[in-house]
Amino acid sequence: RSRERDLSRTLERSLPQWLVEFLREAGKIADSLGYRAYVVGGFVRDLLLGQKNLDVDLVIEGDGPIFARRLAETFSGRVSVHEKFKTAVITLPSGFKIDVATARWEYYAYPAALPTVELSSLKLDLFRRDFTINTLAIKLNPGEFGQLVDFFGGLRDLKDGVIRVLHSLSFVEDPTRIFRAVRFSARYGFRIGRHTLDLLKGALKLNLVDRLSGRRLLNELRHILSERDPLPAIRQMAELDLLRFIHPDLKLTEEGEGLIKETEASLSWYRLQFGEENLKIWMVYLLSLFDRLDQKRFATALARLEIPEKKIRTLLEERGRLFRALEHFKKTHSISKSAIYRSLEGLSSEMLLYGLAKARDQASKQAITLFLRELRKVRPAITGQDLKKLGIPEGPIYKKILETVRDARLDGLVQNKEEELQLVHKIFKEKEKANR
């Protein structure tokens, strides 16, 4: 064996020590059960590329669930089993998750009389996968721990930077792989192999993508738009003419590329300010990608992706309000904070960040960043309780008063609770005067 196929050193060097110990223990447990255990797929690919990836997928030649229970027990983890598919997910006390799958003989009714071919159920399991670079495995059993298993030339393709399918029906069996090919090739700067590209184009001619459910199409798109820099993949989708499957009028223009870059900038700004919590980054990119679609086409594209109708209505409404706000900001000199608040109130962070990317003029950009950073948190110090104590009869007037007080606070007209109460008093007196 050549030295490059022994990856135990690489594992030790690249992974946290506890994970190496975990993998060694997994190998020991498999051994004790008479099984063989492998870590496979994206984890191995990224290990060899020197990229961080802690998505551990184990494949067991043996009974996956039995193995998973024993492994979970050893590390005081939890396990949830899918007996029908013989898969399991182990959750360690730290929250770390490990997927376990079973490579089974009985899945593959192979002619028993095949000569001299040593059948490995692992090999059959890996053969069903998308690209050669995703078919690499590492042995975990003691005595062979760390040895690379490469049935389909994945290592060479990793080195050459090529995305290659395993057989010619791959895209037909699973058209989502068309988008996966784009995603991996853009992520790693790999090219799609010539034959693979022909097969991909063949699959496009068969209109298989049109038959993909919106849910699956959205899932692929979401993955692409969640890449650290999605622009190369979006470009490649445009080059392969894949955008039309989302909407026939969806194009990537030079201006559109500019907007994607601006989106990246607005997202980096946001991350610096607030971290990534609760932000659907892919949604910000989706809004930017759909920028040139009018409201009607925008809705049609979202419907193609099987976004729920209610969500589409919300997005349409928010988008309309954002566009009006941007127009307003552009035209208005020195807009007040309360006016900014009223224009942007209730818009999702995703919509606002799209707006921030889309805004051309400095005034609009400042308005949106100011809103995100400060204004949207502003609340009056007084509450409905205080209004009640003042003897104001309950009703829709409460909302009106509280909004007025909030606006005054935004514009610096009141600074504290006392001043707010004085303001309420004043409003009330004026009301009474008017009513008289």
158 vs 402, beta carbon nearer ligand CTP: 158
Number of residues that bind ligand CTP (CB under 6 A): 10
Choose one: 27-35, 171-179, 244-252, 386-394; the region binding ligand CTP (CB under 6 A): 171-179
CA gap 318, 90 in Å, rounded: 41
How would you classify the pairing of strands 56-61 and 97-102? Answer: parallel
**Token pair of 313 as six digits:** 């209505």
Return the range that interacts with ligand CTP (CB under 6 A); candidates 70-78, 136-144, 170-178, 341-349: 170-178
Near ligand CTP by CB under 6 A, which window of 173-181, 194-202, 240-248, 284-292?
A: 173-181
Sheet holding 148-149, edge to edge: 78-82, 87-91, 97-102, 56-61, 36-40, 137-139, 148-149
Only one of the segments 29-37, 112-120, 129-137, 333-341 lies at the binding site for ligand CTP (rule: CB under 6 A); that segment is: 129-137
Is 41 one of the binding residues for ligand CTP (CB under 6 A)? yes
In the complex, least distance from residue 41 CB atom to ligand CTP, rounded to whole angstroms: 4
Give me the residue label for tokens 């208005």: 332
Among 69, 177, 337, 358, binds ligand CTP (CB under 6 A): 177
**Binding of ligand CTP at residue 176 (CB under 6 A)?**
yes
Checking phi first, is residue 334 left (phi over 0); if not, alpha (psi -120 to 50) or beta?
Answer: left
Q: Report, in Å, the least distance between residue 20 CB and ligand CTP.
A: 20
Among residues 36, 69, 129, 365, the one that binds ligand CTP under rule CB under 6 A: 129
Contact positions with ligand CTP (CB under 6 A) in 50-69: 55
Binding flags for ligand CTP, 77-116, as an x/- string (CB under 6 A): ----------------------------------------
User: Is 218 or 351 the residue whose CB approaches ligand CTP more closely?
Assistant: 218
262 is a contact residue toward ligand CTP (CB under 6 A): no
Q: What angle do CA 283, 286, 292 make, to 5 degrees?
A: 140
Question: What is the distance, to the nearest Å, from the Cα of residue 113 to the centroid of all Cα atoms in its chain?
Answer: 47
Stretch that binds ligand CTP, among 144-152, 175-183, 263-271, 297-305 (CB under 6 A): 175-183
Choose among 208, 151, 126, 202: nearest CA to 174: 208
Residue 22 near residue 77 (C-beta atoms within 8 A) = no
Least distance (Å) from ligand CTP to the CB of residue 292?
28
| R_g (Cα) of the chain, nearest Å | 29
Q: Which of 42/153 has CB closer to ligand CTP?
A: 42
Count of CB atoms within 10 A of residue 120's CB? 15
* Footprint of ligand CTP on 130-159 (CB under 6 A): 130, 134
Candidates 100-108, 169-177, 245-253, 339-347 — which segment interacts with ligand CTP by CB under 6 A? 169-177
- Inter-CA distances, 59 with 48, 126, 215, 283, Å: 19, 10, 27, 34
CB of 85 to ligand CTP, least distance (A): 14
Q: What is the DSSP letter of 243?
A: G
Least CB distance to ligand CTP at residue 186 (A)? 12
Pairs from 327-335 (Cβ < 8 Å, separation ≥ 24): 329/359, 329/361, 329/363, 329/364, 329/367, 330/360, 330/361, 330/363, 330/364, 332/363, 335/363, 335/367
User: Could you say which residues in the range 347-406 bind ligand CTP, by CB under 6 A?
Assistant: none
Least separation, in Å, of the C-beta of 180 and ligand CTP?
Answer: 6
**Which position among 6, 8, 25, 42 is part of the footprint of ligand CTP (CB under 6 A)?**
42
257 near ligand CTP, rule: CB under 6 A = no
CB of 13 to ligand CTP, least distance (A): 20
Residue type, 366: Q
Per-position DSSP letters for 80-144, written without gaps between them? EEETTTTEEEEE-TTS-EEEEEE--GGGS---TT--S----HHHHHHHTSSBGGG--EEE-STTS
C-alpha distances (whole Å) from 204 to each of 53, 172, 184, 363 are 31, 9, 18, 45
User: How do 36-40 and 56-61 pair as beta strands?
Assistant: antiparallel
- Please report, as ranges, the residues that interact with ligand CTP according to CB under 6 A: 41-42, 55, 129-130, 134, 174, 176-177, 180
